[in-house]
Amino acid sequence: MVYVAERYRSKNSGSEPDSSAHIRISTSKNWASSFPVSEIHQTKGMTMGKLDGKVAVITGGSTGLALAGAQLFVEEGAYVFIQARRQDALDDAVELIGRNVTAVQGDASDLGDLDRLFDTVKREKGSIDVLWASAGMGEPAVLGEITEEQFERSFSLNARGTLFTVQKALPLINDHGSILMTGSNASLGAFPGWSLYAGSKAVQQAWARVWLNELRDRKIRVNVLTPGQVGTAKQEELFDEETRAAFESLIPRGSMGRPEEIASIALFLASADSSYVNGLELVADGGTTAI
């Protein structure tokens, strides 16, 4: 299902921005043909956003740090497409973001779902300026207990899903565009029980270096955003109080990161602020893996 929310203005409004603009939400497949896309109006003296007029696609964008990023991207002027597995979470995300967002239900490890996502982007916007491959999962298991099913789950989404997300988006990505992938500081540390997750995320650093070289003629940047522990609903599911306290004891400031802190770094990598940053793994873990 494609779910759309976009700000619209009264037909009777003048040339100045309408402070009483509404939000219209629709699940109709023909929404775009039924209602005109609103124009961006800018008053004298208004500061332009860092992503004004840009189109961004975020996988795993219904929750956590990717949702915080989607919110910030929209606030900075972008139109955002988000993909996630659960329709109810997407519905909540669209309502929270409120405007300039299209949600497409799907699994980033399913190539058919990825085709449907990018077909929607092509039909509605034509091209992509920012791709953030953030869909991922992790579950703890020590070496002697890792099952084949756990291996398949982790590598299918974290590695295979990321690669094919980028591959299938590539024909739509504009020259000088930005690709970022969500890594994990598990691939930099030696956290017992997390070797499977670490391995499935570590491939991204190699991919970023190779892909930027393959894409150098198109001036497309490829970077990895590697967070540490971030306080999200998923973390609440995975960690009991003892485990949470143990992880926080490793962080110099003594507390986990917040989704909005990671979102601001994603904005940096997505925008022209990082125009000279390419092939970088930007680690945002509060110094956990530096000490």
pLDDT in tens, 157-216: 999 999 999 999 999 999 999 999 999 999 999 999 999 999 999 999 999 999 999 999
The answer, yes or no, to whether residue 246 has pLDDT greater than 60, is yes
Contact between residue 127 and residue 79 where contact means Cβ atoms under 8 Å apart: no
Higher pLDDT, 282 or 25: 282
End-to-end CA distance of the chain: 46
Residue among 210, 166, 146 nearest 58 (CA) = 166
The answer, yes or no, to whether residue 44 has pLDDT greater than 60, is no
The answer, yes or no, to whether residue 126 has pLDDT greater than 70, is yes
Contact between residue 134 and residue 59 where contact means Cβ atoms under 8 Å apart: yes
| Residue 276: active-site member | no
138-167 tens-digit pLDDT = 999 999 999 999 999 999 999 999 999 999
Q: Which of 3, 8, 197, 276 is catalytic?
A: 197
Locus of tokens 């020259």: 175
Q: What angle do CA 281, 284, 285 make, to 5 degrees?
A: 120
pLDDT at 210: 99
The answer, yes or no, to whether residue 17 has pLDDT greater than 70, is no
pTM: 0.83
Q: For the chain, what percent of residues have pLDDT higher than 70? A: 84
The answer, yes or no, to whether residue 39 has pLDDT greater than 70, is no
The answer, yes or no, to whether residue 135 has pLDDT greater than 60, is yes
The chain-wide mean pLDDT, for the chain, equals: 87
Q: How far apart are CA 116 and CA 16, in angstroms?
A: 37
Locus of tokens 């949600």: 103
pLDDT at 182: 98
Check whether domain 2-8+23-32+50-285 has CATH 3.40.50.720, yes or no:
yes
In this prediction, residue 85 has a pLDDT band, given cuts at 50, 70 and 90, of very high
In this prediction, residue 93 has a pLDDT band, given cuts at 50, 70 and 90, of very high
Average pLDDT over residues 58-72: 98
pLDDT at 46: 56
The answer, yes or no, to whether residue 20 has pLDDT greater than 50, is no
In this prediction, residue 117 has a pLDDT band, given cuts at 50, 70 and 90, of very high
Q: Which tokens is 266 given?
A: 């994603």
In this prediction, residue 5 has a pLDDT band, given cuts at 50, 70 and 90, of low
pLDDT at 4: 55
